[in-house]
Chains A and B, each alone.
Chain A
């Protein structure tokens, strides 16, 4: 062991209690940070999994690629530069995918695609007795949809299968049904924008935990929605795809776009707002939690400053006997490093144990039965990269704190101290 290491080690060993407190401070900071990251990433993973239950992984939308490209260019130009357009993009007057069934068959043949369904979602009004409510009338093929999403699992009253069995069936979002006062078995009147109307029987109530679905959606068979909208049988408002993979969808999206010549969104893009919200919450939480580490770093700086003050006489004698300023700096920086590393390791251990325990015995929250997006349990992600990164950050903070504190050590002039002691 070098002289610097020996001196550092003996200094630390000579003051076990304050050193242990300092190390504990770092350990708490590291553990809290790791736990927070595990919790926030767990939240994102948890909700991503839930979103994937009710969302297609790829959605073909009724926006021609040239229109889509122009819109993107306009968005970019708004952010960064000036765009000169020779001709403004003209949006489709009729927002439907034409030839949707044929396109769906072609998309179903793409490798990696495990399910395809068509959806027609015109706006309309659902009336029960004298109560009218605005609604999105979501027309689906109930059988095909079962291979794309798990909406069928979220029917809390009645059944999804009844929708397949009854052409005039409707499944109402739970809040829409409450406002209408309708129950399974009641008959409601659906009216499309064009004035077409159709009487439907409520065959199920859906509770997804997602505002749009629960508040205002009425799921009907695809031909019913097309009829209410006044669309042809080959028109749809979207083609919904399920893929074997949930990430790395770029290549499949590219192929789907080439094939369909329509805009294709991934599930992340379709749920951008929710995912962005999680990221923002996560970032804010990390910043706040990061301060715990900074405070722990200050603890190290404070401990070293006290130690340097206590050891002024020893520093003077070391300098008098030939230790260079760098060697003296090295002693205290090494002490900071040792405390930082010890705290980081202890913090990693505490976090690992806590996360493992809560993964084995998760904290469960009260949940509404069937709600897809309800946060039902404290879901913790666990990734070795958290530990490495946060431990490294803690050690760097410890080193910075030490580097600041040791400036005093090299300002100690041996003669001043020795003269004072004489």
Chain B
């Protein structure tokens, strides 16, 4: 099955098709309260074009995950703006924001976060369920195809506990892709995997970007991700200290 055309949102501003998928302007975020409060992000400006593969790197505590949650509309900045496909997230109410995430963004977390009572296929179809779909033969075929693409075509009906860690993470990747997102965000997607499974997920992302022109922003410590990306952003103490195209790093994909 070919990678189908993306569907537009319902009740949300129509995403712009100008090639800029993600724009962040002056993002600041404080976490903690009282004496423990600290500024995790200190003014982030960022633009990601359609089809780009961006790696976000930096030491622990530099604010990578916090930035990813802001970019994905899971959290709101104290200052600054995030635009996804031209839609300003600040103007969107919580439930609409959930819908926007559903329609425009796919997430892959360090942990798979699969729902334990549901099969691999049902987990993949979950984002479609959220928008009232996922039951048609077409949707199920699409979910099955995604699982086949991540190498789990023979494990559609397995429960998460019947899958290995790598397989669970691949199911999570398939789930992130089921709504054909404009933007795929991943937070150390191989952080909990052994090298073999990590390699499989890495290959999958690379293929998605190259073959489907999937826009990807991945938080990683893994040098292979940097090698696969078009750009590497380096974060330090809440600021982007380096934003370099792959070529300047001297590591070809």
A residues lining the B interface (CB < 8 Å): 2-3, 6-7, 10-11, 13-14, 313-314, 316-327, 414-415, 418-419, 421-422
Contacts and interface: CB of A to CB of B under 8 A. Distances in A.
Interface string B106-122: 01011101011110001
Contacts of A418: 69, 74, 109, 113
Interface stretch (B45-53, B128-136, B145-153, B196-204): B128-136
Nearest to B69: A415
B98 A322 contact: yes
A327 B111 CA distance: 24
Contact of B187 (A317, A319, A324, A422): A422
A324 B115 contact: no
A107 B91 CA distance: 84
Nearest to B76: A415
Nearest to A321: B127
Contact of B130 (A14, A327, A422): A327
B107 A320 contact: yes
A215 B127 CA distance: 81
Contacts of A11: 117
Nearest to B122: A6
Contacts, number: 77
Contacts of B107: 320-321
A135 B37 CA distance: 92
A324 B126 contact: no
Given A3-B132, A3-B134, 20 more contacts: A6-B122, A314-B115, A320-B107, A321-B127, A321-B175, A322-B103, A322-B130, A322-B131, A322-B179, A323-B98, A323-B130, A324-B99, A325-B95, A325-B98, A414-B74, A415-B69, A421-B111, A421-B113, A422-B110, A422-B111
A10 to B, nearest CB: 4
B113 A317 contact: yes
Nearest to B191: A422
Contacts of B98: 319, 322-325
Interface of B: 65-66, 69, 72, 74-75, 94-95, 98-99, 101-103, 107, 109-111, 113, 115-118, 122, 126-127, 129-132, 134, 175, 179, 187
16 contacts: A3-B132, A3-B134, A10-B117, A13-B117, A317-B115, A319-B98, A321-B107, A321-B126, A322-B99, A322-B103, A322-B127, A322-B131, A324-B98, A324-B99, A421-B111, A422-B187
Q: 6 closest A-B pairs (Cβ-Cβ)?
A: A322-B102, A3-B129, A322-B130, A10-B117, A415-B75, A324-B95
B116 A320 contact: no
Contacts of B122: 6
A325 B101 CA distance: 14
Contact of B129 (A6, A14, A313): A6
B110 to A, nearest CB: 6
B126 A318 contact: yes
Contacts of B110: 421-422
A320 B75 CA distance: 10
A318 B113 CA distance: 10
A3 to B, nearest CB: 3
Nearest to B102: A322
A323 B75 CA distance: 16
Nearest to B101: A322
B87 to A, nearest CB: 14
A7 B75 CA distance: 25
A123 B115 CA distance: 85
Nearest to B72: A320
A320 B115 CA distance: 13
A28 B130 CA distance: 37
B101 A419 contact: no
Contacts of B94: 325
Nearest to B219: A422
A313 B69 CA distance: 16
A415 B99 contact: no
Nearest to A421: B111
Given A3-B129, A322-B130, A324-B99, A10 B74 contact: no
Contacts of B69: 415, 418-419
A232 B122 CA distance: 95
B153 to A, nearest CB: 22
A394 B95 CA distance: 32
A419 to B, nearest CB: 7
Contacts of A14: 116-117
B232 to A, nearest CB: 21
Nearest to A10: B117
Highest count of chain A CB atoms <10 Å: which of B74, B122, B134: B74
A321 B98 CA distance: 7
A324 B12 CA distance: 14
A226 B75 CA distance: 97
